[in-house]
Every structure is written in C-alpha cells, then in structure tokens.
C-alpha cells in the first residue's frame, strides 16, 4: 500500500478524524470529503475539506453497507479509536489498523494531538479567543443557522439539531481525552527519543553524515530522510551496535549515515516497541529536522545568464510537454555551486521575484535550465514564477543582498531565435537562428569537437533503481566503467549511445563513471 499512497498523510488524516469525531469524512458513514492528488513520485495524497462538522457535528459513523444510525453524545465521547478496523467498507482504515506498525503510528499521531492541544485545554482558550473575535459579525449575520445564544454556549452546551444531539465542544473533548488516555493503546509506554544530532552541522556536498539519537525502550528505530521536499522520505534502520558511528554497542545511542548528495537534507527519527511508537519531532513527517551543506555564495561572473528564448514556438519542450520560454544559466567555474539564496527576476524593482529551490545545484562548466512560464517547479525541473516577454524586457540574477550577479535587457524577439553569449559563458549576447539549448553557444571548431566527443549525460543522478547514461559519440570498442571511491571496478560494459544500468543492488555512496578520458560522478541512494 505504501507504493501507492503517502501513508503518513493518510494516517494523520484518520487520526485527526477519530480524535475530533470528524465523521463528515472518510471515517464516517459516507466516506467522503477528501480529494486524491497524485504527486511527482506517483503516490496519492489526501486533500481534506469540509471540516465544519468536526467535534460531533455529524454523528453518523455507519457500519457495513447501510448502517446510518446517529451516535449519542456518550457514543461520541467514547468513539473507539479502532472504529471500522474490521469493516471491509472502509478498506483504508482496515489496512492501517491491522498493520502493527501503521497502527502504532496512528496512535502516536493521536497522542500528539491530544497532548499538544486538548490535555492542556489549549483548545478552550483558542476557541474563546476566536469566539470573541467574530462575535459582532455573528450578531449581524442574518443568514446564520443558529442563535447568538447558541453560539455563545457552543463550548459547553449540548444542542438538539433535528433528530440528533450535537455536543458542546468542551463537553465532548474533556470526556474524549479521558476515554482515549485509558485505552490499552494509549496506556502502552512508547520509546523515548532525545539528542537527535548530525555528525557535521555544515557538511560538504557528497560527504557522509551520521545522524545519531538517544533512544530507550525500543525494539526498532529508523531514520526517515529526503533531499528534495517534493520527494517521499526514504526510511533506513538505525543501529546501536557500535558499527554505525553510534558509540558503544548497547549504550542506547543509535546511528545511521546518509550522503549529502544535494544541498539540503530533511530527516526525522521513528522508534517503536511491541506496543507503542513515537516520532521525533513528534509532528513528523509534516515537521522534520534540516541540514544544509557548506554553501559558498557565488560571486559575479561565476554563474551567468548564458542564453534565453523569449518566443518559444517550436523549440525545446519542458517536463509538462509545453514549449515554454527558457533561461539557460552557466557555471563558469570548476566547482559545483548551489543556487540557494539566489534569485531571478524580470523586474529591477523586485529583484527577488523568484527564489531558487533549496536543492538547485549547477555543476562545473555546466548548464541549468529555468523554464520561464509562471508555473510550479516539479521534480528536478525548475520553473520560475514569471514569463518572458517577446516584446522585450530584462532578466537579472542577484544574491540575497540584491547584488546583481548578471543581467541583460533585450528588445523584441523573433520566434525560436535565442540570444546567447558568444563565446560561451563570457562573451556578448548575439542572436542565434538555431538555439543551443543546454549546450555550448557558438563554439569554435576545437571546442565543438571536444565538447561533442566528451559529452556524457547521467540521469537521474542521484539514482536508486536505474540510471541512464547517454554518450554523444559512443564507440563500442571503448569500455564504460563504474568504480567505487576506493577505485574498485563495480560494473563495466561496451559503450552504447544509450546505456541503462541497474543500480538497485549498489550500496549507497559515490561512484565514478568513466568513458575514455571523461569521468562523471554518480551518487546512488538505496534503502
């Protein structure tokens, strides 16, 4: 099921529905009021809506195919946390509550909600503040479904609505807290997690970082991590065996290592025993710890606007299949540079119009394409929040201090003709009837031969299952090799123009691909 659904989001949704007796939802009789959204990792995510009947405002839990009887206030106060766990008409609930780990995560999220907001009566304080805030508007509302007196009594008074009773919010939740805290699931003692720390607070790109944590009363501990906020978390085991940079075996310090293959890592720790579980931070996966690589702010001239197309009719298409305008950046240095803290804009009065995503990197003497289409970035493709005008405007690249790193103003543009620096990376802008998208601009004959001869592309990189290697002028007599960081040969084959390699059995780490005199770095990340 985890290959189809974002399980953590669905578990949070079901925990919320149960704690707040939100039955005008998937958890209630009509199994409704949520959308499904498939993200770039091909997982479905729930988008919940219509929450106005939480706190028992719609007391219809249902059972089987036709059960629609209303619940009493007592029924709602003691709504079982295992509601529908054996009912085939709620397959999602049945699947989660009959999986030992998923059920413990579900209870852990319920416990977080109770402890943060209901055990301490914070909800009563917040409700009173909101009630005072809108009181005047309620009095003047000629379309309300209730009287002002009912509005004022809603926290602590039960009201009959048609054929059923809606409990006062305080009446419901004070008893509900007591009921849940006395269930066997809530009385089970979860592990403790503390001192979650990385081995290096400012690691270098592609360096190894160990995450350690003090954990007690646990039989299983894992680290959830990701490098791209749009990706799902990868989960790997943490160990207390003395072999994972975790100190002495059996000292309750657990460790696991990751490779900082991009500019940022987001991570959390999960621990469970036979009966209960806990997250750190407790709101994971919605909250998490973050780690940034050691970043150097690019200086003027190190990253330049190299080429752009402001009137794309039949030129390159983006990851959505659209002929969007594009801006090509070029890294003039021999170092990988991060674009975190840099901005693109088409307006000198608003130089920070588009902020680069946290994991935007540009490799040595390489290109980065930004699609200027006022769209959302997805996966590894970068889309700016503005479009280019074919009638002429300006493009500027600046840093966090609004220091201009590069800029250009241009006039009306012809269809499918770009403006490009000539020579590549350093020269003045000239019009090109044939664009050089993601490639050298107006190269000399020697540059063109050398670039074409050595052009190798790897994607995806980092990879976890397969990696595709494109060689512009592949010669089968030449061998394509992959070696590990201690120079051991891991894989080799006669070179093809297109090469697909299964890396699912590779250990996580940095590898080096070579073809002739050209070498490329390949990062593999496997659970």
Q: pLDDT, tens digit, for every residue of 269-312?
A: 999 999 999 999 999 999 999 999 887 778 888 999 999 999 99
**What residues contact residue 520 under an 8 Å CB cut-off, 6+ apart?**
456, 458, 512, 513, 514
Question: Tens digits of per-residue pLDDT, 209-262?
Answer: 999 999 999 999 999 999 988 889 999 999 999 999 999 999 999 999 999 988
Spatial CA neighbour of 60 closest among 81, 75, 78: 75
Structure tokens at 476: 């089968």
Q: Considering the entire predicted model, what is its pTM?
A: 0.76
In this predicted structure, what is the pLDDT of residue 172?
97
Among all chains, which residue has been given the structure tokens 């490009």? Answer: 420
In this predicted structure, what is the pLDDT of residue 445?
43
In this predicted structure, what is the pLDDT of residue 112?
98
Residue 432 pairs in a beta bridge with 418
In this predicted structure, what is the pLDDT of residue 524?
86
* Cα(9)–Cα(13) distance, integer angstroms: 6
In this predicted structure, what is the pLDDT of residue 191?
98
Neighbours of 43 (CB within 10 A): 17
In this predicted structure, what is the pLDDT of residue 68?
64
Q: What's the alpha-carbon Rg for the chain, to the nearest Å?
A: 29
> Distances from the Cα of 173 to the Cαs of 118, 129, 160, 167, 183, in angstroms?
7, 18, 18, 9, 15
DSSP labels, 171-230: HHHHHHHHHHHTSHHHHS---EEEEEEES-SSPPTT-EEEEEEEEES-SEEEEEEESSTT
* Cα(160)–Cα(306) distance, integer angstroms: 69
In this predicted structure, what is the pLDDT of residue 365?
87
* Cα(100)–Cα(113) distance, integer angstroms: 20
* Cα(102)–Cα(105) distance, integer angstroms: 5
3-state secondary structure of 17: helix
Low-confidence ranges of the chain (pLDDT < 70): 64-68, 377-379, 443-455, 459, 472-473, 475-477, 527
* Cα(131)–Cα(143) distance, integer angstroms: 18
């Amino acid at each position: 099921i985890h290959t189809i659904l974002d399980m953590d989001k669905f578990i949070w949704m079901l925990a919320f529905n149960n704690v707040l007796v939100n039955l005008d939802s998937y958890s209630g009789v009509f199994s409704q009021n949520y959308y499904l959204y498939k993200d770039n990792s091909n997982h479905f995510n729930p988008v919940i809506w219509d929450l106005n009947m939480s706190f028992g405002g719609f007391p219809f839990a249902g059972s089987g195919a036709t059960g629609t009887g209303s619940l009493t206030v007592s029924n709602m106060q003691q709504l079982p946390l295992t509601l529908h766990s054996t009912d085939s008409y709620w397959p999602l609930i049945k699947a989660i509550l009959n999986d030992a780990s998923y059920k413990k995560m579900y209870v852990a999220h319920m416990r977080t909600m109770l402890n943060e907001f209901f055990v301490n009566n914070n909800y009563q304080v917040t409700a009173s503040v909101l009630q005072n805030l809108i009181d005047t508007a309620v009095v003047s509302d000629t379309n309300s479904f209730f009287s002002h007196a009912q509005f004022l009594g809603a926290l602590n008074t039960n009201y009959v609505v048609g054929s059923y009773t809606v409990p006062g919010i305080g009446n419901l939740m004070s008893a509900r807290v007591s009921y849940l805290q006395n269930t066997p699931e809530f009385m089970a003692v979860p592990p403790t997690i503390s001192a979650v720390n990385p081995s290096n607070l400012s690691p270098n790109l592609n360096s190894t970082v160990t995450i350690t944590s003090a954990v007690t009363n646990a039989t299983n501990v894992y680290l959830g991590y990701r490098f791209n906020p749009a990706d799902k978390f990868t989960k790997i085991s943490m160990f207390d065996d003395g072999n994972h940079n975790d100190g002495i075996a059996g000292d309750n310090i657990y460790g696991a290592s990751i490779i900082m293959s991009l500019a940022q890592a987001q991570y959390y720790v999960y621990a469970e025993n036979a009966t209960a579980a806990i997250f750190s931070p407790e709101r994971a996966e919605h909250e998490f710890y973050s780690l940034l690589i050691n970043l150097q702010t690019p200086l003027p001239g190190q990253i330049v606007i190299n080429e752009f197309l402001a009137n794309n009719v039949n030129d390159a298409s983006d990851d959505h299949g659209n002929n969007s305008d594009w801006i090509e950046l070029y890294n003039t240095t021999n170092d990988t540079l991060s674009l975190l803290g840099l901005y693109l804009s088409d307006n000198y009065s608003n130089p920070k119009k588009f902020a680069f995503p946290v994991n935007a990197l540009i490799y040595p003497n390489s290109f980065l394409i930004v699609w200027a289409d006022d769209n959302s970035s997805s996966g590894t493709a970068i889309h700016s929040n503005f479009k280019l005008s074919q009638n002429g405007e300006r493009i500027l690249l600046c840093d966090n201090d609004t220091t201009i790193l590069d800029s250009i103003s241009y006039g009306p543009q012809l269809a499918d003709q770009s403006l490009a620096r000539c020579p590549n990376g350093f020269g003045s802008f000239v019009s090109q009837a044939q664009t050089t998208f993601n490639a050298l601009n107006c190269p000399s004959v020697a540059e063109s031969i050398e670039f074409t001869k050595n052009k190798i592309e790897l994607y995806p990189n980092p990879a976890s299952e397969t990696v595709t290697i494109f060689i512009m002028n592949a010669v089968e007599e030449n061998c394509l090799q992959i070696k590990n960081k201690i120079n051991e040969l891991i894989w080799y084959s006669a070179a093809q123009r297109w090469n697909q390699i299964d890396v699912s059995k590779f250990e996580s780490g940095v590898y080096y691909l070579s073809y002739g005199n050209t070498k490329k770095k390949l990062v593999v990340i496997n659970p």
